[in-house]
Structure 1
């Protein structure tokens, strides 16, 4: 839908228009990961993978994404304004491969390729959006990450309907490839400001080590809470509170829906209270949600807890990216985004197993309470330390 026809508040309409060339990349990643999530049952059955073999294939995919994030800054330096459309095209082609795989190892290799493309594009699109934020003076991260969440859900629903109509993975993914081609056209309109030819190595590094680690751990805690809740909330509702299968599925569904809502409409709040204020408020809301779900005496109270958790954590990651892009040098932006992404994405991998270990030892209720308390580390420890570094002018390696 073109920006001028979207029924949004006037400020958000302008934000959408300003970020549209980069938002197209967020939509592309949402399209492919949403479709993959809906296609998992048929892809797993097609290659004949056991649960353990499928888990190994996804671990290979995760390693590929992290490897690509490390080299994304070099791709950016080599391709310049062509990097975003080029990686979106690679993503569209790479995601056809899992649908063509017929063995477990071919599937693992296909997912490695797809995740490499996704990891590199993830860094590039956040770096580009940060450039647009600096150029326009607008905070755009929350809106664009919200568009990813909404597109992810829409793509999953599309794939479910397409599967019911009898279409196979290759046809479904090829149709999505046509959508990606249209999105690539929008990306070519983006103007990229290149760093000066004489930019030194310190300038290219962007943030100093400690601020980079602090922002990375803020993202890690947000992603840990998100992925841990997605993986275990249904089991908690069914085993601990007696929900039926459909009621259990509502837990992760509520988390996803409230995260999409929180990111899009957090866009209106960030203009009033700023990135730091929104992160603090989001962390406190998420902590309350996690503790409420942990102590819930009924299913409906647990639902409310998971909804508050989703609303709160939805803005933490995007705002951390916004701070990184604003405080680093122009020449070091892609590198900085890559570094905090690598740290942050470990939260996706360690979230479910940490919840599992805590559940085994103390119960799922205690595990979700631990999520709530862990989020409080953001406003009480990590964010104050980062702001102290900023106030002491210790943020950038470029003096």
Structure 2
């Protein structure tokens, strides 16, 4: 199936993925402004970012209930709340206010994220097509566009009071395109079944490791190039840029690969690329070699998370799908918040080269997890 037909088939969740990408691309590009505005040092700013994880923790319980209660409106209404929440950083002038805003953003973003992944999984189950990679690719595209647009607005002299409301309006504009009919699943008939804990743990572990690896490279690749390899500021900035570009390319390519291989087959192959890439980056003698390593890692790591979520949705009973994906997603999202801090500790103790080598060791753990996942009962 072509990328265009995949986008058309899942156009409602695609719009939601773009909404989330627009939100966080803007926040990432505005980080220097926000940090200076609230007067936080590096360590304090890092701790404040954990507020997103606090807000996200509520998603574990809210998302399945929200999805069941709101039905077809769950996704567009969640995105509407995200659009208004995306405007709030415009008034973040103190640390407590910034912390509270991040809690709200974490909660509504996580709510939208869980439901949109559940919608993709439902369309996959209904059509028999693999769609998760192309949807996650559109997140990467929207993230990059939002970051570039934010940078251009900053260069033009606009401040947070203009940039964040504009981003919120762009997010709100995607909401009308997100309504889709969902298959109702009656939770009151038949025996009450427990969630498949083993499936949640295995798929959650795969997604967690993938997101941890992605977060460490996003946060530390520029420093590795500038400090370890004596690169300049522009050379350092190209490290995470290379990762982002190759992740978008990998997810679009993964759409075609996933149509021919199973989720587990894609995960194992992609893990091999990611391990090789991070080892090349760790041992790189020049920035150019490091770019090649980060690019190869981006190609591999890009599809592991989406495929782990797709596997969880496919192996779940229809009425449990949102709850399973919520738990798998929450486990995975933890990697984004804790991995950069752990990477910093490793760099302090061992140096950045060995810290990146440890990322490769963590990625190796995906292989045994994938074989355990193969032993789980498959839903017809």
- Which TM-score applies when normalising by structure 1? 0.91
CA distance in 2, matches of 1:342, 1:180: 22
Q: Does 1:374 align with 2:362?
A: yes
Q: Does 1:240 align with 2:240?
A: no
Secondary structure in 1 matching 2:148: helix
The CA deviation at 1:201 is 6.5
Q: 2:159 aligns with which of 143, 168, 172?
A: 168
CA distance in 1, matches of 2:118, 2:191: 18
Q: Return 5+ residue gaps in structure 2 as ranges.
A: none
* Conserved? CA contact 1:70–1:342, under 8 Å: no
The CA deviation at 1:114 is 1.4
Q: 1:177-256 to 2 correspondence within 5 Å?
A: 177-188=168-179, 190-200=180-190, 202-203=192-193, 205-206=194-195, 208-256=196-244
Q: Does 1:15 align with 2:6?
A: yes
The Cα offsets for residues 116-172 of structure 1, whole Å up to 9 and x where unpaired, read as 100111111101111111111111100000100111010000011111222222322
The CA deviation at 1:231 is 1.4
The CA deviation at 1:320 is 0.6
Q: Residue in 2 aligned with 1:130?
A: 121
The CA deviation at 1:101 is 2.3
The CA deviation at 1:106 is 1.0
CA distance in 2, matches of 1:214, 1:168: 44
Q: Residue in 1 aligned with 2:136?
A: 145
Q: How many residues align?
A: 380
Q: Residue in 2 aligned with 1:264?
A: 252
Secondary structure in 1 matching 2:114: helix
CA distance in 2, matches of 1:174, 1:354: 34
Q: 1:40-119 to 2 correspondence within 5 Å?
A: 40-119=31-110
Q: Residue in 1 aligned with 2:371?
A: 384
User: Deviation above 3 Å: which 4+ runs of structure 1?
Assistant: 199-203
Q: Does 1:155 align with 2:154?
A: no
Query: Structure 1 residues 50, 239: CA separation in 2 closer, same or farther (over 3 Å shift)?
Result: closer
The CA deviation at 1:194 is 1.1
Q: Residue in 2 aligned with 1:39?
A: 30
Q: Return 5+ residue gaps in structure 1 as ranges.
A: 1-9
The CA deviation at 1:110 is 1.2
RMSD: 1.7
CA distance in 2, matches of 1:311, 1:102: 38
* Conserved? CA contact 1:70–1:339, under 8 Å: no
CA distance in 2, matches of 1:170, 1:193: 41
The Cα offsets for residues 160-218 of structure 1, whole Å up to 9 and x where unpaired, read as 11112222223222222332333111112x11111025345744x55x11121011010
Secondary structure in 1 matching 2:129: coil
The CA deviation at 1:356 is 2.0
The CA deviation at 1:322 is 0.6
CA distance in 2, matches of 1:138, 1:80: 22
Q: 1:349-364 to 2 correspondence within 5 Å?
A: 349-364=337-352
Deviates more, 1:13-22 or 1:166-175: 166-175
Secondary structure in 2 matching 1:314: helix
CA distance in 2, matches of 1:199, 1:285: 46
Secondary structure in 2 matching 1:138: coil
Q: Residue in 2 aligned with 1:6?
A: none
Q: Does 1:348 align with 2:336?
A: yes
Q: Residue in 2 aligned with 1:5?
A: none
Q: Residue in 2 aligned with 1:4?
A: none
Deviates more, 1:139-148 or 1:355-364: 355-364
Q: 1:331 aligns with which of 319, 323, 329?
A: 319
Secondary structure in 2 matching 1:139: coil
- Which TM-score applies when normalising by structure 2? 0.96
CA distance in 2, matches of 1:46, 1:364: 30
